A and B are shown apart, each in its own frame.
Chain A
Amino acid sequence: MNRDMDTEQTDTRRIRVYRYKRGDGKERFDEFDVPVGPHTTVLDALRWIQLHRDPSLTLRHSCLHASCGTCGMQVDGREELACVCSLSDHGAEVTVEPLANLPILTDLVVDMTGFFERFPHAHPIIRASELPVDENGGPDGHHAEVSLQTELALHHHPLHHLHRAAPPGQDFMRLEDCIECGLCLSACPVASTSQEYVGPAALAAAERLLEEPRGVRREDVLAWASQPEGAWRCHVGLECTQACPTDAIPAERIMALRRALMFGDNDDNEGER
């Protein structure tokens, strides 16, 4: 249980929690009064409810520090990772709902299968550390080639200036910040209109492939992105970037993808012509 609730309890919040159990056929909201401290998170409150009020409340979480992306949900209508969403930023009554635009398995748990199926089929592994090593324990020749391509691509990328400070040569790790939490898909106004829309995370991953193809043909990526429910389906609501907990800037990547589709190049200077 959260330390705050034991030693620093200062307040009580009413948590309205979305409930749905397969077979029940009905969705509803249950209300719980939860003791909170100054640093209590939404996840702390939900776990308190599980422990003290209703053990049937189901939610998904893992790392507790915004790294695994499993505890994504809507808090007062806004997409948040529950583990780092402080209740002190919200009012006396807080409404917690599952992510939008994905089928609900139970309560606050959504089926992420559809989210992952949206990604390009040729989406290769991202982390260099997952590449095979040679007999000496170091990265094999393919790894060296990938690193070279990465360095060349990044210095010309239009979003290069938006990247947070990182050690030299490690900017290529940016989209690895995408923890595939699904918050962007939930926040996207277009995804609520069209279930076929591939969504921000998948399009951002595709744009990432243009930066660092890793063996994928650029033409294939662009053909995938130009499908009717691809990059052109975005209506520039920019909610995905706002919702993204890791600054993976999916909206900006979708626009870079569009520029690549229109101008045949994702170089910044090309777009400014």
Chain B
Amino acid sequence: MSDLTATELPGTAERALPGPVHHKGPGPAESGWLEPRGRGHGGRALALHRVTGLVIVVYLYLHLGVLSMLLIGRSSWGSFLSLVTAKGFLALEVVLIGTVLFHGLNGIRVALVGSGIAVKQERTMLWVAATVGTAGVIFAALHILGAL
């Protein structure tokens, strides 16, 4: 008869392994900040801040790539300009302005809250950023699209 001890029980080694770390959202753990369920205004502002930051970075590289067309010649630059002055592209420009406005204004809020200077006013500042940003987008839309 075998000397049955706890270490001999089936599954003992597996049970000794650390369990998985649960995280939010369906993707990898690092994307948990994108999960919208259960988030408050601060978490959503943080997620939007990161997304707009990524959009701006991608835009900057695109912008540099587009400027490099100047090296190709006048005709290629002219045909490119006719493309980007189409209504669809101009609408994207309005979206870009909204992205930059939110990222910049919320960045000021994050800096003031994150340095402990205006913690109590963080919600108010988010509303101010949203209001100013929306007004800026409307102004930009009227200015850019209204000229068509």
Give chain A residues whose Cβ lies under 8 Å from the Cβ of B47.
189
B78 close to chain A: CB less than 8 A: no
A76-B37, A259-B117 are contacts. A237–B43 as well, Cβ < 8 Å? yes
A41 to B6, CA, bound (A): 37
Known contacts: A235-B46, A259-B117. The answer to whether A22 contacts B21 by CB under 8 A is no
Query: Is A99 engaged at the interface, CB distance under 8 Å to the other chain?
Result: yes
Chain A residue contacts of B117, Cβ below 8 A? 259, 271-272
Among A77, A97, A101, contact of B21 (Cβ-Cβ < 8 Å):
A101
A101 touches B23 (CB 8 A): yes
Residue contact B119 to A23, C-beta cutoff 8 Å: no
- List the 4 closest pairs (A to B, CB-CB), nearest first: A77-B37, A259-B116, A238-B42, A192-B32
Interface residues on A, range: 35 or more
8 A-B residue pairs with Cβ-Cβ distance under 8 Å, sorted by A, are A22-B19, A192-B23, A192-B33, A238-B40, A255-B113, A258-B114, A263-B116, A271-B116
Interface residues as binary, B114-125 with A (CB distance below 8 Å gives 1, 0 otherwise): 111101101000
Known: A98-B22, A100-B32, A111-B19. Contact between A189 and B116, CB under 8 A?
Answer: no
Q: Other than A236-B46, A237-B33, give 16 A-B pairs with Cβ distance below 8 A.
A: A27-B20, A74-B24, A76-B38, A77-B35, A78-B37, A101-B23, A101-B32, A104-B19, A106-B19, A189-B43, A192-B33, A236-B42, A237-B46, A238-B42, A255-B115, A260-B116
**A interface vs B, CB < 8 Å?**
18, 20, 22-23, 25, 27, 74, 76-79, 97-106, 110-111, 158, 162, 187, 189-190, 192-193, 195, 234-239, 242, 251-252, 255-260, 262-263, 271-272
Contacts of B21 in A (CB 8 A): 100-104, 195
Min distance, Cβ A111 to any Cβ of chain B, angstroms: 7
A100 is contacted by which of B24, B114, B119, B122 (Cβ under 8 Å)?
A: B24
Report which residue of A27, A97, A101, A190 has the largest number of chain B beta carbons within 10 angstroms of its beta carbon: A101
Closest B residue by C-beta to A272? B117
Any chain A CB within 8 A of the CB of B101? no
B63 within 8 A of A: no
Q: Which residues of A contact B19 (CB under 8 A)?
A: 20, 22, 103-106, 111
Asked whether B11 lies within 8 Å of A23 as measured between CB atoms, the reply is: yes
With both beta carbons as reference points, the residue of chain A lying nearest to B30 in the complex is identified as: A193
List CB contacts (< 8 Å) of B7-23 with chain A: 11, 14-15, 17-23
Whether the Cβ atoms of A239 and B43 lie closer than 8 Å is yes
Contacts of A79 in B (CB 8 A): 38
* Interface status of B132 (Cβ within 8 A of chain A): no
> Which residue of B15, B24, B116 has the most chain A CB atoms within 10 A of its CB atom?
B116
B87 near A: Cβ within 8 Å?
Answer: no
Complex: how many Å from CA A226 to CA B14? 38
* Bound Cα distance A33, B115 (Å): 48
Give Cα A97 to B22, complex, Å: 9
Known: A192-B30, A195-B21. A22 touches B35 (CB 8 A): no
Q: Is B143 an interface residue (CB 8 A)?
A: no
- How far does the Cβ of A186 sit from chain B's closest Cβ, in whole Å? 8
Partner of A104, one of B14, B22, B110: B22
A22, A158, A252, A258: the one within 8 Å of B15 (CB)? A22
> Chain A: which residue is nearest B50 at the CB level?
A235
Is the Cβ of B119 less than 8 Å from the Cβ of A192? Answer: no
Tell me which residues across on chain A come within 8 A of B41, comparing CB atoms. 238
Please measure, in the bound complex, the distance between the C-alpha atom of A237 and the C-alpha atom of B122, giving whole angstroms: 11
